Amino acid sequence: MLAGTRWRLTAWSVSALNATGYAITADFGEADMSGRVGVNTYGGPYTVTNAGGFSVGTLHATAMSGSDDAMRAESLYLDLLRQARRYLMTSTTLTLRNAANQDLLIFQVR
């Protein structure tokens, strides 16, 4: 499962912004995840199933301000993360997908 894994975002599905330019991360504990979203840090509960299901609970984030692009990237990432309903993990890649099984967020191990 995801517990104990650490990832860095390398791609997302819906923006011309370069996902690698914002040092966005996701670190998974037993039931909570946390990371950086460019300017701020975030965290909250997540759930996975043996069948590849994934969802996040209420996420919280710090409220520091940054450039318009960094704040747009942060908002986009958190929105996509909330839409994730499935996950696929290999030894080096984590892909979060929506309910239609379309890739939303792609991470590489860090």
**Residue 80 belongs to domain spanning:** 6-109
- 1: in domain: no
Comparing CA positions, the residue from 25, 26, 15, 18 lying closest to residue 54 is: 26
Q: Per-residue pLDDT averaged across 81-87, rounded? A: 98
- Res. 38: pLDDT tops 90: no
Task: Kindly state whether residue 44 falls inside one of the protein's structural domains.
Answer: yes
- pLDDT surpasses 90 at 14: no
> Is position 100 within any domain?
yes
Is the pLDDT assigned to residue 16 strictly greater than 90?
no
CA distance 9 to 29: 17
Domain holding 49: CATH number?
2.40.128.270
Number of domains in the chain: 1
